[in-house]
Structure 1
Amino acid sequence: MKIAFSIAAMMSLTLATVSYPVMAGSYGAGIENSRWYLSESVFDCSLTHEVPRYGRAVFHHRAGEDLAFYLESDSQLMRPGEGRLVIEAPVWRPGVAPRALGAVYVESSNRPVTLDARRSMQLMTGLIAGMAPTVTRQAWYSDEAIRVILSNINFSRLLDGYRACVSGLLPVNYDQIKRSRIPFGAGSVALSPSDYERLDLIVLYVQADPTVERVFVDGHTDRSGSRINNRALSEARANAVAAYLMERGIPAERLTVRSHGDQYPMSRRAADNRRTTIRLQRQGERPELQRADNGYAGDANG
């Protein structure tokens, strides 16, 4: 029994000291130093893996977008160009055949590899199955191959938290919602069901993001009426939008409501100019970028 215990202890010690950087060109964590970290909020969810001597591997799911994966490194170790993506068996699972996922492009940046949702999910599925996704590309400084290997150790224990985070993400992110345009019919101030849906998304985001300090609501018209009538119509359109935003919970003190008549057309098409725009401003953003008389027509596209 003592001999058996000794052999088992030696095998355990051997596994504990196995680390993926077996060769000079391989980078990966072993059993003893494989770490995954979960970051969660209503704005984004991420699973980050520290790859010793290389950098980080990150699964990132931003609100309103699909899952993405990227490698991040402070040093440019891989030569830009076409690399290979493979789902391999870890060293402690010999005999399991690897699965090639095809070519992957390596860029010259601190994020040399970025994958779309489909391939990101393939990597995640491989990790769940106990495999080791691997990116291989020629080294920047020599002809040897650089291999970046993701360890599955400690990955699965964070899955429940990650999935709960993804299910709680907002339907949109700041870049998608910071500029919106509500169109109007000729002479109309009526909001449509799709307008209400867009405004509800704005309210949902503003209530979730305390860094949004100002909501600009700007009414516009085409040039079919008199200057006085157009100014009054644009004011009515802006007020219709602002009233709904306040009704849904945005405080009046966070709103800046303005009317411009036909002063700032965004195109030659009258229908494009019959609009109210909503723009969000976060703390620290330059207020001049939100002014109606500073490149406003471009901003009004939403």
Structure 2
Amino acid sequence: MTSYLAYWLTSLSLLSAHYQQPPEQARWVLVADPFFCQLQQQVTGLGQVQFMTAPAEPLTLQFEFEQPNLHVNSARLQVIDADWQAPALRRGGTVFSASAIAAQRIEFREAPLLWLQQLHLGYWLLFEFQTDDTDVRLTLTSIEGRQAVDGFRQCVTKMAPLTWQQARDLSLEMQRGQRTLSSAQQTQLRQLVSYLQYDKAVQRILIDGHADDTGDQLADRLLSRERADDAAAYFLELGVKAAMLEVRAHGNRYPVAANQPNRRVVVRLIR
């Protein structure tokens, strides 16, 4: 069946092809990491289907094709009944169009949580791809979908709150005259401290206080110091060791840009 599928995808004379994943190959594989969760199923001869998410990133469903020169014009996805389901469990599914189509990859972003829920209940997925030469329909069957989805959900609950790119450089914008962190800014620092539990490579935390140019350099310097000190104090309150913290007050130096407010505290993680 696989060799015929490869032929279907490259033949100029074939108008359509329908492939169903054999049940013995329809197993989901979980890749679990504090910074990445992936639930994937390999479709031999065609590509790979995968649910993916990362810290602070939306859940997406992707289809990656093996054929490097396959040009997909449109793609759709639908939840369908499994052939073993009793009539009482059978249902029709809404058709969703692809959110993005790129070279060898298609992304569906509209309702991935719904699709996970349906896989958990035993339903299958039907992909429809339109290429320059043919229409391809793939029925993605599933074995032990409930256990696979449960494992994926557990991975998500244990995931770090931020990626390194999101955590390494945080700018807390302050209001005029503000000396202490707002509740929203405290929440951001709590996320950062939570991230530190997953990334043991972080050695130092730089806390840089800044202030606008008000005309009195000493007052600006003191204000920037108060802002940085308050952030440092909150880190200590959250259990961060004092030896990791380095507090610096820059006053009105190093503005973001000309004629732009410089009221901020910048937190940088150093590995």
Normalized against structure 2, the TM-score is what? 0.78
Q: Give the superposition deviation at 1:27.
A: 5.2
1:251 maps to 2:244:
no
Distance change (3 Å), C-alpha of 1:201 and 1:106: closer
* From 51, 55, 60, the counterpart of 1:63: 55
Equivalenced residue count is 259
* From 88, 101, 108, the counterpart of 2:102: 108
Q: Give the superposition deviation at 1:74.
A: 4.0
Q: Is the 8 A contact 1:219 1:260 kept in 2?
A: yes
Q: Which secondary structure does the structure 2 equivalent of 1:228 belong to?
A: helix
Q: Is the 8 A contact 1:44 1:169 kept in 2?
A: yes
**Deviation per residue, 1:3-34 (Å, 9 max, x gap):** xxxxxxxxxxxxxxxx7887534555312222
What's the counterpart of residue 262 of structure 2? 273
Q: Is the 8 A contact 2:39 2:152 kept in 1?
A: yes
Between the aligned partners of 1:102 and 1:244, the Cα distance in structure 2 is 46
Q: Which secondary structure does the structure 1 equivalent of 2:98 belong to?
A: strand
Q: Determine what percentage of the aligned residue pairs are the same residue.
A: 27
Distance change (3 Å), C-alpha of 1:78 and 1:151: farther
**Aligned AA (1:108):** A
Q: Which secondary structure does the structure 2 equivalent of 1:212 belong to?
A: coil
What's the counterpart of residue 12 of structure 2? none
Distance change (3 Å), C-alpha of 1:158 and 1:274: same
**Aligned AA (1:157):** Q
1:30 maps to 2:22:
yes
Q: Is the 8 A contact 2:100 2:108 kept in 1?
A: no
**Aligned AA (1:31):** P
**Aligned AA (1:113):** I
Q: Give the superposition deviation at 1:224.
A: 0.4
Between the aligned partners of 1:93 and 1:68, the Cα distance in structure 2 is 27
What's the counterpart of residue 152 of structure 1? 142
Q: Give the superposition deviation at 1:105.
A: 5.2
Q: What is the root-mean-square deviation of aligned Cα atoms in Å?
A: 3.2
Between the aligned partners of 1:44 and 1:228, the Cα distance in structure 2 is 47
Between the aligned partners of 2:116 and 2:257, the Cα distance in structure 1 is 46
1:132 maps to 2:121:
no
Q: Is the 8 A contact 2:98 2:106 kept in 1?
A: yes
Greater gyration radius? 1
What's the counterpart of residue 158 of structure 2? 168
What's the counterpart of residue 119 of structure 1? 111
Distance change (3 Å), C-alpha of 1:28 and 1:174: farther
Between the aligned partners of 1:188 and 1:138, the Cα distance in structure 2 is 57
Q: Which secondary structure does the structure 1 equivalent of 2:223 belong to?
A: helix
1:264 maps to 2:257:
no
Q: Is the 8 A contact 1:20 1:27 kept in 2?
A: no
Structure 1's unaligned 5+ residue stretches are 1-18, 284-302
Q: Give the superposition deviation at 1:97.
A: 7.1
1:201 maps to 2:191:
yes
